[in-house]
Amino acid sequence: MKHIPMRMCVACREMHPQNELIRIVRDNSSGEIKLDADKKLFGRSAYICRNTECVKLAKKKRGLERAFQCAVDGELYNTAEDMM
């Protein structure tokens, strides 16, 4: 069985296999914070569970702002929610 790394959700702060989480990346080249839908971006990353509750909680707690220590466009949370 292939080993899948565990990552922490910024909302519930529980550890989950990386492939069960949404990855959000601060793009190294542009500095932009983006949803890494196709897993092609490099940079500092944060994770949220693939469920509406955690996305909403992350938004409420400003989990991504904390993870990246900078402002995050609220639209990103909405986009993540739309992906559920």
Which residue bears the tokens 């993540």? 80
Q: Least Å distance between CB 29 and Zn ion?
A: 28
Q: Which of 9, 22, 55, 72 binds Zn ion (CB under 5 A)?
A: 9
54 contacts Zn ion (rule: CB under 5 A) = yes
Q: In the complex with Zn ion, which residue's Cβ is closer, 9 or 67?
A: 9
Q: How far is the CB of 55 from Zn ion (least distance, A)?
A: 9
**3 state DSSP class of 2:** coil
Q: How far apart are the first and last CA of the chain?
A: 27
Identified binder of Zn ion from the candidate list 22, 24, 25, 49, rule CB under 5 A: 49
Closest CA to 76 of 23, 35, 31, 46: 35
Closer Cβ to Zn ion, 49 or 80, answer by number: 49
Torsion angle of the four alpha carbons 55, 58, 59, 62, in this order, in degrees rounded to the nearest 10: -160
Q: Rule CB under 5 A: which residues touch Zn ion?
A: 9, 11-12, 49, 54
